[in-house]
Amino acid sequence: MATDTPLVEMRDIRVAFGGVHAVAGVSVDLFPGEVVALVGGNGAGKTTLIRTLSGAHKADSGQILINGEPVTISTPRDAKDLGIETIYQTLALADNTNAPANVFLGRELTTRWGNLDTSAMESETRKLMARLNPKFKNFVSPVSNLSGGQRQSIAIARAVHFNARILIMDEPTAALGPAETEQVRDLILQLQSEGIGIFLISHDIHDVFDLADRISVMLQGELVGTVNKKDVTKDEVLGMIIMGKHPGDVTQQDIAELH
């Protein structure tokens, strides 16, 4: 379902901290309805790269295009205005309140008398969840009582309700069990079918391999390469992550050493 114009194009992005080239000229892109996994070991520069897209940190140089148009993203507000939402690993939920309160956190609906419109927020949240995660049924309990997958659903529902077209997810399934991971997986498939593009960030290829359409690998601030998931094996991607080798250059001996 990809179209010709990428939702996101990041071109030759550079970020240095003192003498450390955290991101040393990286280009990645993302099409509508696509999941691009951004993988690499700790310190590879994934978070720093993606923070330039979410408006958390300004790049030293490089260009970002959204729907083909060059943009300046200086703050998280700029990013949100461009339809870019970030689901942080912490999820940033208010634990002692319920799902509807979290979906509308900071953007509460009010009645014409200025009171919180809890019934409108609940009915909106029920509609959203019916679409995104029909298994989600608990609209009453504080979200601290909910499972990791349900909590993730709430964070995503919040992003999508406020018109995210581009979703950045940091290690979305790392802390989840298999059933939970399955729930998040279904949610991601639903978002894809709605044309939302997703950057999935992970240090572990096993966490994201199944979900990815393409995989961009970073090592020591540089892009090793971007591959189509269907063209590669996990071992080949591991070879990219650990050795910085391109899939065709990974030998049987390399693979033996990876295990």
Residue ranges in contact with ligand ADP by CB under 6 A = 17, 20, 22, 40, 42-48
6 binding partner (options ligand ADP, Mg ion, none; Cβ < 5 to 8 Å by kind): none
Q: Which is nearer to Mg ion, 51 or 165 (CB)?
A: 51
Q: How far is the CB of 46 from Mg ion (least distance, A)?
A: 5
Helix axes 148-161, 118-132, angle to 10 degrees: 110
Residue 124 in tokens: 């909106």
Q: Which is nearer to ligand ADP, 51 or 151 (CB)?
A: 51
Q: How far is the CB of 104 from ligand ADP (least distance, A)?
A: 30
Q: Which is nearer to Mg ion, 50 or 212 (CB)?
A: 50
∠ Cα 194 64 192 (to 5°): 15
Q: Which is nearer to Mg ion, 51 or 245 (CB)?
A: 51
Q: How far is the CB of 42 from ligand ADP (least distance, A)?
A: 4
CB–CB of 139/126 below 8 Å? yes
The residue ranges of DSSP E strands in 53-139, in sequence order, are 61-66, 69-71, 84-87
Nearest CA to 151 out of 86, 212, 196, 90 is that of: 90
Distance CA 48, CA 208 (A): 19
Q: Which is nearer to ligand ADP, 47 or 153 (CB)?
A: 47
Binding site for Mg ion (CB under 5 A): 47
Q: How far is the CB of 9 from ligand ADP (least distance, A)?
A: 20
* Residue with smallest beta-carbon separation from Mg ion: 47
Distance CA 249, CA 239 (A): 9
Q: How far is the CB of 174 from ligand ADP (least distance, A)?
A: 13
